[in-house]
Structure 1
């Protein structure tokens, strides 16, 4: 099947309308760049959101399930998770990407996260430091509408969050009492949730369980923060557009993509610059699908690093039971307190780097019933014992990139367009296991200090894949990385990759704020070098320019 030659044309073609793709499209469009974004999924409507329906908890486990292997939606591709610890991968295909089903935790990385190998002999170092991202963090936090409090003593940030903290509720104050009892540092959780009306978004109404979709719009998602402004500035967004490969010309430069449109027709889109923003699974999948005689192992993969070094963050949840009601159903899922008390490497531990403990509210009624109240005799008594008498502590640790943990194509499982799915292979390291054992012990200690009368936890054997990172990593050495410090592919000079797959190290927190900050930084580099790659500008000037000599480029 041959692609139609008369497809759309743009200066910049962005593949993926999620958190990072939205940032790039917004930044470029506002600078006057002609940008087109192709998104595999579609816009979400109010009808799509589980929280718009009375049976929202059931919908959250089926058509809204964040794991595409379980959801099997019309815009998904097959995902087969393998290894000693198969990852429960969380990926959404929609305008907004995986951020449509998130809880809004909005951290900045710490300066130490950018140099863990140099300081702790752990993982890989970034080719730049925290100070490079600080101005982009500020832009992103204003655009997304972050709530929080300034003055965190563990962080160099001095800027005041755009919004005050979301209410912690009674359970939040109980958790704080536990922190204080133990003498542990704590700080209010920063969230991409409006604590008061902000830029057309209403204040949070405390309906809880944000990951089931926020029907009011208080939770920041790219479809309501970045995309309206990007489209108003002239960006174009085509949904239900499934890209099958990035095309490359005889000169080795990317020329565009071949994709299936909403009608199932194979089309060709062309551009001067191509930007991939497909997440830690989708990006290596597309690069590997774009193999050619010139790139036999996949596009931008002369290093062999595409798909390698998958990081997910080891995580474990501790559920604390209290005799008193916890009002676990009131307020955002993650809007209480958190600690970085155990964040840095402690020589007294038998592992390197550390973890956070986030004190949260409890599970929804259906999940609580499935976890604690088997059907039959005693069901109601068990449910009454646990429902609204529990709250959760979430432990999240650092994860080093290991070559054995990877993503590869699955030609035995094809999507509806005949394109291969992906296989993930993941085995948790001993460092991560020891880290989580300590995290479990500290979280249990905190639960008891807060007044819990019993504690239960979930194991590590099938880890959460909320944060899929590192599969097209950034680095200075083309022999060992996929993109440079400006997110430009070493092998293809007009190809950028801007999602979490480029992170050489993943920190110890939700990476969304950092992913977006990196994307905004990369977009600034595209804008700064526009006169060297934009055909429309070159045609106007009649001058051919080289890439050499531009600050920040190779």
Structure 2
């Protein structure tokens, strides 16, 4: 156990939440503030600001090993491994309080209205079971709860979007990126970010370290361990750390009645609950549902549709580095992105593929990050004197345009239980079967050509294409999709299982389509909307005897 420790009674609660990432933290806070007794089980622990590698001299070594975003590299006792031998992309996540937001770039874009209606508009994939207008108030609510910075008035978004803090400066690289986009007549806007630009409590304002994705030394980045959990705990929620859940249990009538879990010493416990909410991400949630078999649910919990673990979406990513003559101080953050473009986010079937991409202009904060973008070169061309020449030529004078590709749902892209790999408690690991579609390949190539063009328009003297990299799967979506029809979805529009009426899923597993933007704002807006509905319908909730 860590700082929160084990409560005096972790054996029974009204609502049991599994996973302390963004959606779990959001649900815990709203429920606790409404007077509901809540226990959250998190298989990782708390990360102290002094533990993160960002301000350490050995940072580059740490983020390639014990602080890697890839759990198979990191190999922390809090992690579970992932079987990726049959996957074109590798999942990146973090198990701990705050989940993967501990190591995220804090980008805070919301879906555009068409993202919820791609079937109706473009005859592609499926529509979501609700509209942008229905979820928009919850985007607003979570921006207020978390604290976001940005600039109102983005013409690519509906009017009315506000932020509680002014944007992080776009800096010289942002101005240079905007210069090229303006020449081409293409959209750009300062990025919306879950980053403080004003000090608040013990959290400082952004100091532009550009180390967001290895932890924020100032506490300015709104990872959910600092931005949401303190309020949830103050409201009375209980958080049990280093609690690895083995299965969700059910009673004789098929209602969820809690979960069985192991503590850090390997001792088994069971927490009984009237309702269970699963917030384990698009890999961890289908894994747990498939582990939770019984006579009533031999194919896994909530899986009468057969869709648990299917339609995995992961947002392929490609980029182009532009090198310029002038010094642009391109080691300054934030990182995430300083500005974004939705110029090519909508579908245009004349391009030869469906859907689109979100662009982001990223800094390159250090020599190792720069050389990583040249990793496709032969070793002798990127090490020694040759590597030093690259650094001297490009460091501080380059930035990256990156394109995040909308990933369409495909039932052949799956999360199942590995027959060969287990975690530290002997529980089967998740196995990914994921292949890039030809649609995604065409989408990536088309956007690569446009990013070269954007750099050239801005005056780049050199461009370097970053090859597609499998280890880029930050966004894990779609494996327990929501919908109105129990035959074609796992949960309803409010995250409630069609099969088990007191079991809910609130994480990115519920996504019907992936959009091309970062998913966290939509994940937590969904969780807030679903939690509110859960409270409003509590009188009708079936509970175990």
> Is 2:433 the partner of 1:425?
yes
What does 1:353-432 correspond to in 2, within 5 Å? 353-372=355-374, 374-432=382-440
Q: Distance in 1 between matches of 2:19 and 2:255?
A: 20
Report deviation, 1:534.
8.2
Q: Distance in 2 between matches of 1:463 and 1:123?
A: 26
Indicate the residue corresponding to 2:335 in structure 1: 333
- Which of 109, 113, 128 pairs up with 2:130? 128
Q: Is the 8 A contact 1:314 1:463 kept in 2?
A: no
| 3-state SS of paired residue (2:308) | coil
* Alpha carbons of structure 1 residues 136 and 199: separation in structure 2 relative to 1, 3 Å: farther
Report deviation, 1:348.
2.4
Indicate the residue corresponding to 1:30 in structure 2: 33
Report deviation, 1:7.
5.2
Report deviation, 1:196.
1.6
* Alpha carbons of structure 1 residues 272 and 170: separation in structure 2 relative to 1, 3 Å: same
Q: Distance in 2 between matches of 1:223 and 1:534?
A: 32
Q: Distance in 1 between matches of 2:214 and 2:10?
A: 36
Report deviation, 1:422.
1.2
Indicate the residue corresponding to 1:105 in structure 2: 107
Q: Is the 8 A contact 1:136 1:517 kept in 2?
A: yes
> Is 2:75 the partner of 1:72?
yes
Number of matched residues?
A: 531
Q: Comparing 395-404 with 195-204, which one deviates more in the overlay?
A: 195-204
Indicate the residue corresponding to 2:456 in structure 1: 448
* Alpha carbons of structure 1 residues 199 and 136: separation in structure 2 relative to 1, 3 Å: farther
Report deviation, 1:58.
1.5
Q: Distance in 2 between matches of 1:370 and 1:120?
A: 37
What does 1:209-228 correspond to in 2, within 5 Å? 209-228=211-230
Superimposed CA distance per residue, residues 10-59 of structure 1 (whole angstroms, 9 cap, x where no aligned partner)? 10000000010000000000000000000010000123201131211211
Q: Is the 8 A contact 2:495 2:506 kept in 1?
A: yes
Q: Comparing 133-142 with 154-163, which one deviates more in the overlay?
A: 154-163
Indicate the residue corresponding to 2:508 in structure 1: 500
Q: Distance in 1 between matches of 2:201 and 2:115?
A: 32
Q: Is the 8 A contact 2:150 2:168 kept in 1?
A: yes
Q: Distance in 1 between matches of 2:502 and 2:439?
A: 38
Indicate the residue corresponding to 2:164 in structure 1: 162
- Which of 307, 316, 319 pairs up with 1:317? 319
- Which of 524, 531, 542 pairs up with 2:532? 524
Superimposed CA distance per residue, residues 171-198 of structure 1 (whole angstroms, 9 cap, x where no aligned partner)? 1111111111111121111011111224
| 3-state SS of paired residue (2:460) | coil
> Is 2:62 the partner of 1:54?
no
What does 1:458-477 correspond to in 2, within 5 Å? 458-460=466-468, 462=470, 464-477=472-485
Q: Comparing 125-134 with 337-346, which one deviates more in the overlay?
A: 337-346
Indicate the residue corresponding to 2:144 in structure 1: 142
Q: Comparing 427-436 with 247-256, which one deviates more in the overlay?
A: 427-436
Q: Is the 8 A contact 1:407 1:425 kept in 2?
A: yes
Superimposed CA distance per residue, residues 95-151 of structure 1 (whole angstroms, 9 cap, x where no aligned partner)? 000111000110110110001111111122100011111111011111111111111
* Alpha carbons of structure 1 residues 108 and 482: separation in structure 2 relative to 1, 3 Å: same
Q: Is the 8 A contact 2:310 2:479 kept in 1?
A: yes
Q: Distance in 1 between matches of 2:516 and 2:382?
A: 35
Q: Comparing 244-253 with 525-534, which one deviates more in the overlay?
A: 525-534
| 3-state SS of paired residue (1:234) | coil
Superimposed CA distance per residue, residues 419-468 of structure 1 (whole angstroms, 9 cap, x where no aligned partner)? 01111111111111111111101111111111111111222362621111
Indicate the residue corresponding to 2:4 in structure 1: none
Q: Distance in 2 between matches of 1:60 and 1:171?
A: 24
Q: Comparing 368-377 with 249-258, which one deviates more in the overlay?
A: 368-377
Q: Comparing 48-57 with 520-529, which one deviates more in the overlay?
A: 48-57
| 3-state SS of paired residue (1:268) | strand
Indicate the residue corresponding to 1:202 in structure 2: 204
Indicate the residue corresponding to 1:15 in structure 2: 18
Q: Is the 8 A contact 1:124 1:400 kept in 2?
A: no
Superimposed CA distance per residue, residues 200-227 of structure 1 (whole angstroms, 9 cap, x where no aligned partner)? 5321011112101001110001111110
Q: Comparing 187-196 with 328-337, which one deviates more in the overlay?
A: 328-337
Indicate the residue corresponding to 1:541 in structure 2: none
Q: Distance in 1 between matches of 2:45 and 2:10?
A: 20
| 3-state SS of paired residue (2:351) | coil
| 3-state SS of paired residue (1:447) | helix
| 3-state SS of paired residue (1:250) | coil
| 3-state SS of paired residue (2:54) | helix
| 3-state SS of paired residue (1:89) | coil
Unaligned regions of 5+ residues in structure 1, if any?
1-5, 539-543, 545-554
Q: Distance in 2 between matches of 1:463 and 1:440?
A: 19
Which stretches of structure 1, 4 residues or longer, exceed 6 Å deviation after superposition?
none
Q: Is the 8 A contact 1:91 1:98 kept in 2?
A: yes
What value does the CA root-mean-square deviation take over the aligned residues? 1.7
Q: Distance in 1 between matches of 2:317 and 2:337?
A: 18
- Which of 113, 116, 140 pairs up with 1:114? 116
Unaligned regions of 5+ residues in structure 2, if any?
1-8, 375-380
| 3-state SS of paired residue (1:441) | helix
TM-score, normalization: structure 1? 0.93
Q: Comparing 331-340 with 71-80, which one deviates more in the overlay?
A: 331-340
